[in-house]
């Protein structure tokens, strides 16, 4: 069953402006260490950060909280499965909200799709509950 759906469109130019203006303060406030390492290794770091920013916004919408009720930017981190497929790893308030919304006897699976076409980055998140095996 679907527990939540979220989408977001992020302007890569706006993310670049934040990187230029606030530098590490912006990076450290919004992104996990894994996300920072991965984005900084890309030729166009701003596009990578913008996709991750959009993924966090989409996830917060799918959780039904937005960035409030104890859900913070770094509580949602884009990670890749062994196959390379992106998903989100949740900690802190985001993990607590996910546990709260997951029905007993089920486990939550987060599906994430990200794309960019300058000057925009886009992300879709679907949170699904599957019966525990």
Binding residue positions for Mg(2+)? 8, 57
Q: CA distances (Å), 46 to each of 11, 53, 57, 126, in order?
A: 10, 10, 16, 24
- Cite the annotated binding site by residue number: 8, 57
| CA angle (3, 86, 129) in 5-degree steps | 20
Give the Cβ contact number of residue 82 at 10 Å. Answer: 5
Those residues with Cβ within 8 angstroms of residue 132's Cβ, 6 or more apart along the chain or in another chain: 105, 106, 107
SS3 content of the chain, % helix, strand, coil (to 5): 45, 35, 25
């Amino acid at each position: 069953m679907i527990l939540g759906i979220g989408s977001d469109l992020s302007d890569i130019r706006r993310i670049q402006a934040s990187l230029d203006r606030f530098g590490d303060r912006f990076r450290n406030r919004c992104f996990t260490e894994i996300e920072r390492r991965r984005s900084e290794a890309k030729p166009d770091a701003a596009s990578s950060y913008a996709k991750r920013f959009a993924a966090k916004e989409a996830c917060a919408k799918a959780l039904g909280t937005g960035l409030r009720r104890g859900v913070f930017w770094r509580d949602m981190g884009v990670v890749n499965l062994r196959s390379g497929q992106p998903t989100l790893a949740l900690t802190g308030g985001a993990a607590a909200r996910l546990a709260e919304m997951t029905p007993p006897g089920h486990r939550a699976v987060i599906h994430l799709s990200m794309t960019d076409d300058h000057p925009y980055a886009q992300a879709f998140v679907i949170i699904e509950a599957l019966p525990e095996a």
